[in-house]
A and B are shown apart, each in its own frame.
Chain A
């Protein structure tokens, strides 16, 4: 680092240098010599003449303490005047640091972790912050937020940085960049803001959206990682079967030891060879169908730097029976699809039951027919219904768009056509999830809960066309759609909880539901549901005597791929430092104060111990 020039921030402090005057005066007063009578000064005079003839050094030695005191004072005064040098700087003006807090930053290819290494880089930036600049640090995880407002206070910045922790989710870069732009707008006029991205660059494609000056500080050295990318169970003739898929996202082949536990009991373990950037599947058959939950984990691997994706949990819901009523004039496709679903006890009827509220079904499938429904019924409506008003039909059923919904998971609607479809005026809670040219083709939604007992519906899925007058039953998508709809309408457990939840995701549980976390802590769900899903593991929810379990899993293939990006285009430009070198003030008073302290210690030591004696050679 080449020093350009040095100047002082508070030059008036140099007046403290006048303190040297009293020091010298005190020293002169201290030099009042004690008189000592001796028999003769003959030899003393000769000895002192020898000594003083020696050199200037002898005289200096005699006054060494004074010289050291004056030097110490000079250093302290110099430090008080806050000297600084101009050093090449990454940025001047406001600095907005985007600190990657995504799950891949938990990787330990740089010790102790990528996130800690990133924090160290940010601390270095804080240390280089000149008095005229300020900094904002934004932690970019699933929901980016500013750790501090723009400040020049280094201790505040460091304290905020110390509290930052990486998340288990992906980074929402577009939200982070928006925050950075807002923070940069508040900077001083003319100086501009520099956005500094401290990240491993993994799946940070949005960084080119950054405007203005930008710089990228890469973190991470290796992409070696193994992850449990899939973990599922199903009931077979031979009992419960589990499937574990291990994916090697790194560039090196690996041998991975995988184990399967229920609670703390080891059920099985196996070493899998996983080639680079490929997956290996392990199927375990013959497990006890009554097992409540399972845990698969990577216990040992050679090239594995991210531990968060080394474990996966699943709740076994295969032994829970649900009851469904199918009211239809006859529909082979529908009957067949429903009959093949596991754990579904299907009752087929052509006329409505006399007393529908005597023993309510978990699910009602009304295929073009109507009936009196019990309260909070979960219903799959097919075709025209009397429950919702219709304003005619449309025939242009060409697919336009679809929403992300569990009902549509794995369903390809692009080739689905119907002769005509009802134009339904659905209530606001019943959301269209498939849009065709003529209108919505599929609705799904949950009626908001109220405290009264007359709430007619729970969850509803509505297909506003006759299945037999469409090609949907002929599509591969049909059984998948029916299976999804049944799973969503009548969840296997008593509570409507998804079997798999991602970290940070909100689970729609009734307010007041007590949830036991994997750590044993108990937390009540609020009006939004249950949001404290930042631990991986099995959660147990309980309300009104009904218990349900759900698993929070890492399940994030993009974060499992921890390949670092040493070069990344940020802000659509090359980094600013190579384009236009700038200089910032670098204060050096701590070093000067340290030198003063060293001088003070030396002075004290000499005062206590005296000068070392060097015997002259004769």
Chain B
């Protein structure tokens, strides 16, 4: 999982929500409601990682316990991290002993959870196997989130596709997952980490999440073998999720055809996100987490 040094480099970052939505409790973000005065509202316990400037030092002098002051005009942001843990996300090449694609997706999920928790946002983390972590607040919950993610690793025989198991195939129904999740979700920022490989598509799920006032940001996670495959010859491709087979005779022309189809698909997803006011970022899992978060997501206005 993420090294301590990487987590430290992410300190001070916070998500930029595409829309301001009214929260239910006081928080650290300005409310969209106007006309209210800046007044003290409440205290809450200090958790490691909170800004020390917000500690009420008078209370600390009296009680010798740190408390954070909360004001009426500040509202919290709920960050929903939806991590696709389906077999396709945990695919690994035959010569690899672990899934690089899944590792990068898990690291990205952990990093985004840390950013949310360290900036005082409420975090809800759910995987495609419907396991949920949160809601949590405070940076101390980071370790719990990381442990939660680590538990989601599939058995190796599934990720290399040699023994497909029906038990893991439910995760590929992305629309069903997101529609169910949207039912009781608080409004906020929804970050989807997925390869979006689902024959049923993603549109219905996006619509459901949007109708629950969630701003859908997609971190589209694809590995180099998916972005620029180097297979050649006459092959029988087997889908490790559905076990469906596809015969291909791969030459330069066929590979070009695949690349054209991939670009078309990526553009469709990006356009779908933009139409809903969300953000889209295509992630090559060969890139490092620092590069993706500190450079790419910051440049694209995901975090600041």
Contacts and interface: CB of A to CB of B under 8 A. Distances in A.
Nearest to B254: A51
A46 B246 CA distance: 10
A38 interface: yes
Contacts of A611: 251-253
Among B160, B247, B254, the most chain A Cβ lie within 10 Å of the Cβ of B254
A544 interface: no
A454 interface: no
Interface string A424-459: 000000000000000000000000000000000000
Contacts of A62: 249
A608 interface: no
A51 B260 CA distance: 11
Contacts of B233: 34
A34 B234 contact: yes
Interface stretch (B58-66, B235-243, B288-296): B235-243
B235 A40 contact: no
B261 A43 contact: yes
A37 B240 contact: yes
A44 B199 CA distance: 12
A611 B223 CA distance: 28
A298 to B, nearest CB: 71
A3 to B, nearest CB: 41
Contacts of B88: 39-40
Contact of B162 (A37, A38, A41): A37
Nearest to A63: B249
A615 B254 CA distance: 11
Contacts of B262: 43
B258 A35 contact: no
Nearest to A34: B235
Interface in B229-280: 231, 233-242, 244-249, 251-254, 256-258, 260-262, 265
B260 A41 contact: no
B246 A31 contact: no
Given A33-B247, A41-B246, A51 B257 contact: yes
Among B87, B238, B249, B257, the most chain A Cβ lie within 10 Å of the Cβ of B257
A614 B199 CA distance: 30
A395 B198 CA distance: 139
Interface in B83-115: 87-89, 91, 94, 101
B296 to A, nearest CB: 22
Q: Which 7 A-B pairs have the closest CB atoms?
A: A37-B161, A40-B197, A39-B91, A33-B236, A613-B252, A39-B88, A41-B239
21 contacts: A33-B235, A34-B234, A34-B236, A35-B235, A35-B236, A36-B231, A39-B195, A39-B197, A39-B240, A39-B241, A40-B88, A40-B195, A41-B238, A41-B239, A43-B262, A47-B260, A48-B246, A48-B254, A51-B257, A611-B252, A613-B251
B257 A40 contact: no
A613 B256 contact: yes
Contacts of A48: 246, 248, 254, 257
Nearest to A51: B257
A253 to B, nearest CB: 73
A36 B265 CA distance: 22
In the complex, which range does the number of interface residues on chain B fall in?
35 or more
Contacts of B265: 43, 46
A45 B101 CA distance: 22
A50 interface: yes
A36 B234 contact: no
Interface in A600-615: 610-611, 613-615
Interface in A25-61: 31, 33-48, 50-51
Contacts of A615: 256
B23 to A, nearest CB: 38
B231 A47 contact: no
B261 A38 contact: no
Given A34-B233, A37-B94, A45-B244, 16 more contacts: A33-B234, A34-B235, A38-B91, A38-B238, A39-B195, A39-B197, A39-B240, A40-B241, A41-B239, A41-B245, A42-B197, A43-B262, A43-B265, A44-B248, A50-B257, A51-B254
Contact of B226 (A33, A39, A47): A39
B33 to A, nearest CB: 45
Given A48-B248, A613-B253, A36 B197 contact: no
A45 B246 contact: yes
A31 B233 CA distance: 10
Interface string B70-88: 0000000000000000011
A36 B195 contact: no
Nearest to B195: A39
Contacts of A34: 233-236
B40 to A, nearest CB: 53
B236 A47 contact: no
Nearest to B241: A40
A57 to B, nearest CB: 11
Interface string B155-166: 000001110000
B247 A41 contact: no
Contacts of B241: 39-40
A611 B242 CA distance: 33
Nearest to B199: A42
Among A33, A38, A41, A611, the most chain B Cβ lie within 10 Å of the Cβ of A38
A47 B247 CA distance: 12
A529 to B, nearest CB: 83
A51 B255 CA distance: 10
A614 B258 contact: no
A50 B261 contact: yes
B239 A610 contact: no
Contacts of B246: 41, 44-45, 48
Among A31, A34, A51, the most chain B Cβ lie within 10 Å of the Cβ of A51
A363 B7 CA distance: 139
Nearest to B261: A47
A50 B257 CA distance: 8
A47 B237 contact: no
Contacts of A51: 253-254, 257
A568 to B, nearest CB: 66
Contacts of B160: 37
Nearest to B245: A41
A45 B239 CA distance: 11
A43 B253 contact: no
Interface in A502-553: none
Contacts of A47: 254, 257-258, 260-261
Contact of B253 (A35, A37, A45, A614): A614
A43 B258 contact: yes
Interface in B27-44: none
Among A40, A613, A615, the most chain B Cβ lie within 10 Å of the Cβ of A40
B239 A40 contact: yes
Nearest to A58: B253
Interface string A574-618: 000000000000000000000000000000000000110111000
B195 A35 contact: no
Contacts of B237: 35-38, 41, 44
Contacts of A46: 261, 265
B240 A38 contact: yes
Interface string A462-476: 000000000000000
A50 B258 CA distance: 9
A445 to B, nearest CB: 96
Among A42, A48, A50, the most chain B Cβ lie within 10 Å of the Cβ of A42
B6 to A, nearest CB: 26
Interface string A560-581: 0000000000000000000000
B292 to A, nearest CB: 19
A414 to B, nearest CB: 99
